[in-house]
């Protein structure tokens, strides 16, 4: 059945971010009522003021129990039918020198928080006639890319969580979706990552492309959606014939290391 966008009430995490804002504009334009979350109150307020329609803002750190309590309380009052987990952080560099605390925060933000929010909001979503959970993953949730060990671990985990839950809820009113952007022009990417992408010739999408993809994915009811070629193909190839991708990426390793290992050293100084 076609989605009735104007009847949807959506909790959007990471709404203050590049991809989150693009999703907010796209969905608000379709008539969705949004609950916008993030930690940056100023950018959330500015976003809310610029969107068409009536929306709610909740400023919270979703890596804390108290932050999630705050978000869930607002969702209880609003009869949500859609959850989009877009909040995320990145970490690049040599794995051996990545501070353990950064790995903790990354796994909490990118993997544990979406799982915990989904678990707590499912009873509310199950009350809607049709409900949707979209987890924003990454191409790096299917391809282990050098100098991204913790980030890849979090997104591989998110993909596994999404697939399992999607199959568990297959006969229910809740659809569970995995959306995998490739490199996208937002603040999550450090200057070093931007330079590496240029040197490798990696394509970089505007965040609006991710928002468009999300709408197409839900309208076509596709459990998984990978954005862009050749990334889409490489993600599949890595699943079937990882040795081929090992070889292709080994050729790129000197370039990756040139940008990302020195960036890590600079950050740690
Ligand atoms: N951009 C890319 O190249 C790319 C590619 C593939 C996948 N992705 C994925 O797309 C998603 C969105 O990324 P983006 O590019 O939009 O990044 P971004 O511009 O840096 O935005 C990240 C968002 O996450 C929120 N966030 C981070 N930690 C949080 C916390 N502890 N509590 C609450 N909110 C938190 C930020 O909110 P505050 O700043 O307000 O705290 C911000 O709204 C992420 O999951 C990312 O992994 C991005």
pLDDT in tens, 239-261: 999 999 999 999 999 999 999 99
- pLDDT greater than 90 at residue 32: yes
Residue 6 per-residue DSSP state = G
Give Cα separations from 81 to 63, 108, 118, 161 (angstroms): 22, 24, 12, 20
Among 112, 132, 151, 178, the active-site one is: 151
Kindly indicate the confidence band of residue 266, based on its pLDDT and cuts at 50, 70 and 90: low
Pocket of ligand 1 (CB under 6 A): 14-20, 38-40, 61-63, 86-89, 109, 136, 138, 181, 183-184, 186-189
Domain boundaries, the chain: 5-268
pLDDT in tens, 132-177: 999 999 999 999 999 999 999 999 999 999 999 999 999 999 999 9
Task: Please give the full DSSP string across 80-140, using - where no structure is assigned.
Answer: --EEEE-------S-GGGS-HHHHHHHHIIIIIHHHHHHHHHHHHHTTSSSEEEEEE--GG
- pLDDT greater than 50 at residue 268: no
Domain 5-268 coded CATH 3.40.50.720: yes
What torsion do the CA atoms of 244, 246, 248, 254 make, to the nearest 10 degrees?
-170
Average pLDDT over every residue of 56-69: 98
Of all atoms in ligand 1, which is nearest to the CA of residue 110? 45
pLDDT in tens, 173-196: 999 999 999 999 999 999 999 999
Ligand 1 binding pocket mutation candidate from 88, 101, 139 (most atoms within 8 A of CB): 88
Q: What percent of the chain has pLDDT over 70?
A: 97
Average pLDDT over every residue of 40-47: 97
């Amino acid at each position: 059945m076609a989605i009735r966008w104007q009847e949807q009430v959506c909790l959007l995490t990471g709404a203050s971010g590049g991809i989150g804002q693009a999703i907010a504009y796209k969905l608000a334009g379709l008539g969705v009522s949004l609950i916008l979350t993030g930690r940056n109150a100023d950018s959330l307020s500015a976003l809310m003021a610029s969107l068409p329609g009536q929306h709610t803002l909740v400023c919270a750190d979703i890596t804390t129990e108290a932050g999630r309590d705050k978000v869930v309380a607002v969702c209880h009052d609003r009869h949500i039918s859609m959850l989009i987990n877009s909040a995320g952080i990145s970490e690049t560099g040599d794995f051996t020198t990545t501070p353990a605390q950064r790995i903790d925060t990354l796994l909490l933000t990118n993997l544990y928080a979406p799982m915990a929010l989904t678990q707590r909001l499912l009873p509310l979503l199950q009350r809607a006639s049709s409900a949707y959970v979209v987890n924003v993953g990454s191409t790096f949730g299917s391809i282990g890319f050098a100098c991204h060990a913790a980030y890849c671990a979090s997104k591989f985990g998110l993909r596994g969580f999404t697939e399992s839950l999607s199959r568990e809820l297959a006969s229910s009113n809740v659809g569970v979706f995995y959306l995998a952007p490739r490199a996208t022009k937002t603040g999550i990417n450090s200057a070093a990552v931007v330079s590496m992408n240029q040197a490798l010739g990696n394509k970089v999408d505007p965040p609006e492309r991710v928002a468009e993809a999300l709408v197409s994915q839900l309208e076509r009811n596709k459990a998984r959606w990978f954005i862009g070629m050749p990334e889409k193909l490489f993600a599949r190839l890595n699943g079937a014939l990882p040795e081929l991708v090992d070889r292709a990426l080994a050729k790129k390793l000197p370039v990756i290391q040139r940008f990302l290992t020195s960036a890590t050293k600079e950050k740690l100084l």
